[in-house]
Structure 1
C-alpha cells in the first residue's frame, strides 16, 4: 500500500512538472527570442538560447513603436477601468446577492445575455453612439467601452463571493449594535477581498490586452494603446519582425505581472483578516 501511494505521488509530481514545462515554454521562447539577433532568427537551425545576448531588439522596438507613450495610455485606461468597475460592481453585487426582488432576475438575465454578443456585433453601434457625444477617438470613450464590457462578468463574479458569505455574520454584527455601514466595512468587505482581487485582475488585464475596440475607436497615433502599437511589427504582407515583436511583447507583459504580484498578497491576508473580524 505504501509503495502504491508513493508511486501515485511520484506520478502526480511528474505530471505537474510536465504541465509547468508546457505552460512555461512559450514564455521562455518569447524571452530568449527577444535577445536574439536577426541572423539567429533567420537561421535554418534555430537554437533555444541566443548565442550572444543583446538588447538591440528592445531599443529598436521602443524607438520604432513609441512604446513608452503607448504604455502610458494603456496603463491609464486599465487603471481607470479597474477602479470604475470595482466601485460600481461592489454595491451592485451585494444587492444582487442579498435582495430577492424581481429586479434581481432581470439583472441576472442581462448579465448572462450580455456575454453572448460577440465584439463584431456591437462595435459599429458603439462607434456611432460615441462619435456624437465627443467620446470617439478618445481614451475616455475607450474607458467607457471597457467598463461596460467588463461590468457584467465582474458582477457575476462578485455576487458569487457575496453569496458565499454567511448572513449570520452580518446579523451577529447587527445584534452587537453595529450600524449597517459598519457591518459592511468591518465584516463583509474584508471577506470580499479575494473576490475584489480577482475582479480587479480581470478588469485590468482585460483592458490592458484589449485590441479590437481600441483599433476601431482610436485613430490618433498619440492616443493609441500598447496592443495597437504591437501590431506595427506585423507587415502588410504578413512578414513579422519576430525579434522586435518578442521584445515589445515582453515589455508589455511586465505591468500585468507586476499588478498581479502586487494584489495577489491580498488574497490570503484579506481572507484571514475578514475571518478574524467576523
Structure 2
C-alpha cells in the first residue's frame, strides 16, 4: 500500500505563496524635479511680491524723506534717502501758503458722507440681487460691471448739466451725490459676493423659529455682513478721499475745495513745483486713509476672503 500524503504538508500541491514583488523605487532625479519646480515657483512668487511692495513703498518713503529736506538738499545733484539736515519748515510753509485744514475738513465730510450713503443704499440692493437671482438681477449685475468701464470724461458733462439744473454746482452736497453715484456700482458688486457667502440655511432656520424677514436681516444676516460692509465702506471712503477730477470741475470756491485740489496750488504757473511744501502736504493727505486701513485691516481681510470664496 502506498502511504497517504497529507495535502497540507505536500510542497508540490501547496507551494508557498511567492513574496509580493516590491515596487521599483523611483529614481531620485524624478523625485527632485517636482520639489525644484515648487521651490522655483515659490521663489518667483516671493520675488513678485517683493517687487510689488517695493513699487508701493519706495515712492512713499521718498515722499516722506522729501518732506523733511531743506531747500538746498532738494536741489542737490546727489540726493539721499535720509535727510542730512531734517527740518519742519516745509510743513510750516505748507500750512501758511494753503488752507490745508479747511480742505481736509471738506474732504473728510465728502468722503464719510459718500461712503455712508453708498453702503446704506447698496446693502439692501445687494441682498435682493444675491437672494433673488432673476433676469432683472442678472441684468443689473451686468450693468454694474459695464458701468465700471465708463471714463470720467464721458460722464462729467451730463453730470455737470444735471447738477446745474438742481443748483448743486460749487457745493459739497452736489459733490457728495456724484461720489455716491460713482461708488455705488463697485459697492454693490462687492456686497453681492458677501451676501452670497452667508448661508441661506441660517435665514431659513430663523424663519422656522418665528423670526420675520426684518428681524432675520437685522439679527442674523447683518452681523455676518459686518466685515464686508466695513471693507466696502473703506474702499468707498478712500476713493472719495483721493478723487480729484470731479472736485476740480464742480468746486470753484477755494473755501469749498477738497484736499487733492488744494495740492495743485503748490504748482506754479509754468508747472514748477514747490517740492518741499508739496511733499509735506501730500504726506499729510495720505495719513487718514493709512490710519483707517491700519485700524480695521483685520476685519477687512476676513470680509474680503469670505466674499471671494462664495461669490
Q: For the Cα contact (< 8 Å) 1:81–1:143, is it kept in 2?
A: yes
Q: How far off its partner does 1:128 sit?
A: 1.2
For residues 270 and 111 of structure 1, what CA distance do their matches in structure 2 show?
21
Higher fraction of helix: 1
Please list every run of 5 or more consecutive structure 1 residues that lacks an aligned counterpart in the other structure.
272-278
Instruction: Report what 1:133 is aligned to.
Output: 166
Q: 1:191 aligns with which of 219, 224, 238?
A: 224
Higher-Rg member (1/2): 2
What's the TM-score once normalised by structure 2's chain length?
Answer: 0.80
For the pair 1:78 / 2:111, whether they are aligned, the reply is: yes
Instruction: Report what 1:178 is aligned to.
Output: 211
For residues 18 and 46 of structure 1, what CA distance do their matches in structure 2 show?
23
Q: For the Cα contact (< 8 Å) 1:37–1:54, is it kept in 2?
A: yes
Distance 1:101 1:28, change over 3 A: same
Q: How far off its partner does 1:140 sit?
A: 0.3
For the pair 1:123 / 2:152, whether they are aligned, the reply is: no
For residues 109 and 17 of structure 1, what CA distance do their matches in structure 2 show?
35
For the pair 1:149 / 2:185, whether they are aligned, the reply is: no
Please list every run of 5 or more consecutive structure 2 residues that lacks an aligned counterpart in the other structure.
1-31, 305-311
Name which of structure 1's ranges 178-187 and 41-50 shifts more when overlaid on structure 2: 178-187
For residues 21 and 96 of structure 1, what CA distance do their matches in structure 2 show?
39
Aligned residue runs from structure 1 range 96-245, under 5 A: 96-245=129-278
Q: Helix, strand or coil for the counterpart of 1:192?
A: helix
For residues 7 and 106 of structure 1, what CA distance do their matches in structure 2 show?
45
Q: For the Cα contact (< 8 Å) 2:68–2:90, is it kept in 1?
A: yes
Q: How far off its partner does 1:100 sit?
A: 2.6
For residues 41 and 147 of structure 2, what CA distance do their matches in structure 1 show?
44
For residues 241 and 188 of structure 2, what CA distance do their matches in structure 1 show?
20
What's the TM-score once normalised by structure 1's chain length?
Answer: 0.89
Name which of structure 1's ranges 95-104 and 62-71 shifts more when overlaid on structure 2: 95-104
Q: For the Cα contact (< 8 Å) 2:194–2:303, is it kept in 1?
A: no
Q: How far off its partner does 1:194 sit?
A: 2.3
Aligned residue runs from structure 1 range 3-42, under 5 A: 11=43, 15=47, 16-17=49-50, 19-42=52-75
Q: For the Cα contact (< 8 Å) 2:122–2:187, is it kept in 1?
A: yes
RMSD, matched Cα? 2.4
Deviations 1:237-264 (A, max 9, x none): 2211111111001000111112212333
Q: How far off its partner does 1:10 sit?
A: 8.8
Deviations 1:103-130 (A, max 9, x none): 3133223312322221111111111111
Instruction: Report what 1:276 is aligned to.
Output: none
